[in-house]
Amino acid sequence: MEIAAKRRNWTREDLILAFNLYCRTPFGRIHTRNPAIISLAKEIGRTPSAVSWKLANFARLDPTLAQRSVKGASHGSKEEVRIWEEFQDNWEQLTFESQMAGEKVSALAAEFEAKDFPVGESKEAIVRIRVNQSFFRSAILAAYQDTCCITGINLPELLSASHIVPWKVDVKNRTNPQNGLCLNALHDRAFDRGLITITDNYKVKLSKRIKRVVNTSFQKMMNEFDGADIRLPSHFLPSQEFLHYHRENIFQS
């Protein structure tokens, strides 16, 4: 039974924490029994119902859900729209800010010792990279329900959050879930090296280099998915702009 918290306005920090959790939560798990929602509610002094409803409000702004005729809450606030737009303008910065606003992550970052950092790299830079990479993986696996979008493999230990536009190329979109795919380790490496790509209608396309490899097992493993539709995420559909970049600048046709 929930204990009602005193009604108060949502602060910007509350909202960026809620949006951060929205990104890391599979759409079907936005409910009051979700342990992550219960934990955030306790952290910010609200009820699980209030946090769950706020996540549903963010869902109404997600264009992927609108395309698939899946509805979030029917009403929301201007503040939610503002937070959504802030993230779209600079995912890298807002991800780090929202991650560090969480007590658990802040405490973890504070425990890092100097010996953990490469020579020549600042503690702040390495903490930012580690924290943001952790968020990106969580967001991608949540969007794809812990399943490789090409093969259907659903063992998290074998899955990677693959960047469509490489990490070093587009700083602002490093943690944008629309700049990611959930792939198994082999297809992640092939995608990163430009040996496979995804078309504008979300189909797998193999490079001619893969087709020339003389290895029956490998050919069977790769050719089986040539031209196949990928499994689309529950939210944060891969950006057409990012996929176009990958085909034009990374894919080895």
Amino acid 128: pLDDT: 85
Cα-Cα-Cα-Cα dihedral of 30, 164, 211, 225, to 10°? 10
Beta bridge partners of 184: 159
CA angle 95, 100, 105 (to 5 degrees): 115
Tokens of 236: 């944060």
Q: How many CB atoms lie within 10 A of CB 112?
A: 13
Cβ atoms of 211 and 232 within 8 Å: the answer is no
> If we measure between CA atoms, which residue out of 232, 230, 180 comes closest to residue 205?
230
Distance CA 79, CA 60 (A): 13
Radius of gyration, alpha carbons of the chain: 20
3-state secondary structure of 206: strand
Amino acid 118: pLDDT: 52
> Tell me: the pLDDT tens digits for 97-146?
999 887 554 444 445 544 455 555 667 778 888 899 999 999 999 999 99
Amino acid 253: pLDDT: 87
Q: Using DSSP, how many helices (H) and how many strands (E) does the chain show?
A: 12, 4
Tokens of 110: 């504070």
Beta bridge partners of 180: 163
Amino acid 149: pLDDT: 98
pTM of the model: 0.85
Amino acid 5: pLDDT: 46
Amino acid 60: pLDDT: 87
Amino acid 176: pLDDT: 97
The low-confidence residues of the chain, meaning pLDDT below 70, are 1-7, 65-76, 103-122
Distance CA 139, CA 182 (A): 10
Q: What is the DSSP string of 144-199?
A: TTT--TTT----GGGEEEEESS-TTT-STTTT-GGGEEEEEHHHHHHHHTTSEEE-
The H-assigned helical ranges of 1-102 are 12-23, 35-44, 48-59, 63-67, 78-89, 91-101
Amino acid 122: pLDDT: 65
